[in-house]
C-alpha cells in the first residue's frame, strides 16, 4: 500500500524533513476557496507571495475570503468545476503549477439527505479535477480527504494511522473514502504527483456551517442563548485549528517536490487533540464570559460507534516537522474573536424555534424536543468526561 511504502522509506532513513523550497513563487489554483479551510489556505498562499487563482460558483458574502479581503488579492474564475472543459482551460491559461482540491459537500447531514449531489461533487468532482491535472500536466496536486473516511466505527483504542482501512459507511464518509482513493490512483496510474490530506475536525473563524459544533455554539453564545447538546456530551473527537490545517496542506504540497517521490500517491493524517463535546462547549462559554449552562438533551453513542476518534500524524511530522501549534483554548479564542469581528458571518438572529441543536461530533444538526432536561444530566456529563480524561486514556 502506498502509505505503508512511505512509512517504510522513513524508517529506512530516506525521509526525514522536507527541504525549504520557498524561493519559488507558485501559481496556485484552489477549489473550495470560499469554504472554511480554503479561504485561510488562499490567504496563506497570497501572503507568502504566490499567485492564487480561485474558483467561484456562487456568491458567498459571508466567506472569510470575502470578509478578510483575500478575494481582492486573488484571480477569481467564475464557474462550476463540473462544467466540461472548464478546469483544463483554467489550469492551462493560468499556467498553474499547484492545485489544492478542497471543494466538497462537507456537511454530513446535508450529504445524507442529498446523496446524488454529494457523490456528484465529492466523487465525480475529484476525478474531473484529477483528469484536468493529468491532461494539462500540473506538477503537484493536494486533494482534501478527512478523518471521516475512516468511518465512525474505526478503532477507538489508539490513534488512526494511514494504513488503517477506510470503513466509511454513510454517504459523506463513503464519498470521502472514494475521492481519496481516486486521487491517489492518479500517481500509480498516470504519474500525477498527488497526495491526500486526512484532516481531523477543523474549526476556526469563517466556518459558516451552523450544523457544526464550534460555529453553532459560537452563534448561540453570541446570540445570548445557551447551547444545546444532542448527546451525553462525552464522545471525544480530534479537533484541529484552521491555521494548523493550512500549514499541513502547505507541508504536503512541498513534499511533492522531492526527487525521491516519497509523498506521491500517499495519504497524510493531520490531527490535533481529542476533546469531548462538553469540553469544547464549556471552554467557549468560559472564553465568551457567558454564565449560560449547556442543555444536555442526549444519550451515549449507540453500540459499535467509537466514542473516541483521533489521528496519528507521525508520518507527516517525521517527513516535514509539521505538528499542530494552536492549542484548543487559543484556537477557540481566535475563533471567537473572528466571529465577534464579523457578526454578519453567523445569523445571530437565530432563535430556539428553529429547532437546531448540537450533535455528537459537530458534523450534523438534529431536530428535537426543546424541553430542558434535569440539571443532573449536565453534572453526569461532566463527571463522565472528567473520569474518561483521568482514567488513563490520555492524548494520542
The whole-angstrom distance between residue 167's C-alpha and the CA centroid of its chain comes to 18
Domain residue limits at 359: 213-236+274-308+326-386
Confidence tier at 25 by pLDDT (50, 70, 90): confident
My answer on whether 198 and 291 are in the same domain is: no
Are 226 and 164 within one domain? Answer: no
User: Measured between alpha carbons, how far is residue 320 from residues 17, 23, 43, 90, 210 in Å?
Assistant: 4, 17, 21, 30, 34
DSSP letter assigned to residue 222: H
Residues of the chain above pLDDT 90, percent = 65
pLDDT at site 19: 45
169 versus 37: the higher-pLDDT residue is 37
Q: What is the pLDDT of residue 22?
A: 52
Contact 297, 230 (CB under 8 A): yes
Q: Which three cell numbers stand for residue 230?
A: 444532542
Of 246-260, 268-282, 322-336, 369-383, which gets the smallest average pLDDT?
A: 369-383
Instruction: Please give the pLDDT value at position 157.
Output: 77
328-341 helix and 213-222 helix, angle to the nearest 10 degrees = 50
Q: pLDDT band for position 389 (50/70/90)?
A: low
Domain of 21, CATH number, reads 3.40.50.720
Q: Domain count of the chain?
A: 2
pLDDT tens-place string over residues 193-228: 999 999 999 999 999 988 889 999 999 999 999 998
Tens digits of per-residue pLDDT, 300-358? 766 656 778 899 999 999 999 999 999 999 999 999 999 999 998 887 543 333 334 33
Tell me the pLDDT tens digit for each residue of 180-191. 999 999 999 999
Would 100 be classed as within a structural domain? Answer: yes
Catalytic residues: 172
Q: Is residue 37 part of a domain?
A: yes
Amino acid at each position: 500500500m502506498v502509505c505503508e511504502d512511505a512509512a517504510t522509506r522513513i524508517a529506512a532513513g530516506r525521509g526525514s524533513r522536507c527541504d525549504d523550497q520557498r524561493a519559488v513563487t507558485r501559481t496556485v489554483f484552489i477549489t473550495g476557496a470560499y469554504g472554511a479551510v480554503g479561504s485561510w489556505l488562499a490567504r496563506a498562499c497570497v501572503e507568502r507571495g504566490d499567485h492564487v487563482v480561485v474558483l467561484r460558483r456562487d456568491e458567498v458574502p459571508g466567506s472569510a475570503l470575502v470578509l478578510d479581503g483575500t478575494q481582492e488579492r486573488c484571480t477569481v474564475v467564475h464557474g462550476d468545476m463540473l462544467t466540461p472543459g472548464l478546469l483544463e482551460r483554467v489550469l492551462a491559461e493560468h499556467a498553474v503549477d499547484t492545485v489544492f482540491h478542497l471543494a466538497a459537500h462537507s456537511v454530513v447531514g446535508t450529504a445524507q439527505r442529498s446523496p446524488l449531489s454529494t457523490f456528484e461533487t465529492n466523487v465525480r468532482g475529484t476525478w474531473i479535477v484529477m483528469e484536468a491535472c493529468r491532461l494539462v500536466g500540473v506538477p503537484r496536486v493536494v486533494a482534501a480527504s478527512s478523518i471521516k473516511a475512516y468511518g465512525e466505527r474505526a478503532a477507538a483504542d489508539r490513534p488512526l494511522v494511514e494504513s488503517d482501512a477506510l470503513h466509511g459507511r454513510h454517504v459523506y464518509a463513503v464519498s470521502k473514502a472514494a475521492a481519496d482513493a481516486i486521487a491517489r490512483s492518479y500517481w500509480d496510474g498516470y504519474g500525477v504527483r498527488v497526495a491526500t490530506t486526512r484532516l481531523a475536525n477543523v474549526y476556526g473563524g469563517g466556518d459558516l456551517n451552523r450544523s457544526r459544533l464550534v460555529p453553532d455554539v459560537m452563534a448561540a453564545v453570541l446570540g445570548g442563548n445557551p447551547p444545546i447538546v444532542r448527546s451525553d456530551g462525552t464522545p471525544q473527537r480530534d479537533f484541529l485549528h484552521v491555521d494548523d490545517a493550512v500549514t499541513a496542506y502547505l507541508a504536503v504540497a512541498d513534499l511533492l517536490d522531492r526527487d525521491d517521490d516519497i509523498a506521491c500517491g500517499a495519504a497524510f493524517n493531520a490531527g490535533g487533540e481529542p476533546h469531548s463535546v462538553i469540553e469544547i462547549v464549556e471552554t467557549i462559554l468560559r472564553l465568551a464570559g457567558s454564565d449560560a449552562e449547556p442543555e444536555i438533551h442526549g444519550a451515549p453513542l449507540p453500540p459499535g460507534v467509537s466514542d473516541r476518534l483521533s489521528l496519528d500524524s507521525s508520518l507527516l511530522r517525521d517527513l516535514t516537522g509539521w505538528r499542530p501549534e494552536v492549542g484548543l483554548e487559543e484556537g477557540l479564542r481566535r475563533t471567537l474573536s473572528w466571529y465577534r469581528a464579523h457578526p454578519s458571518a453567523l445569523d445571530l438572529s437565530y432563535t430556539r424555534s428553529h429547532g437546531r441543536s448540537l450533535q455528537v461530533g459537530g458534523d450534523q444538526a438534529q431536530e428535537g424536543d426543546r424541553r430542558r432536561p434535569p440539571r443532573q444530566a449536565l453534572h453526569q456529563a461532566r463527571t463522565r468526561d472528567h473520569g474518561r480524561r483521568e482514567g488513563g486514556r490520555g492524548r494520542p
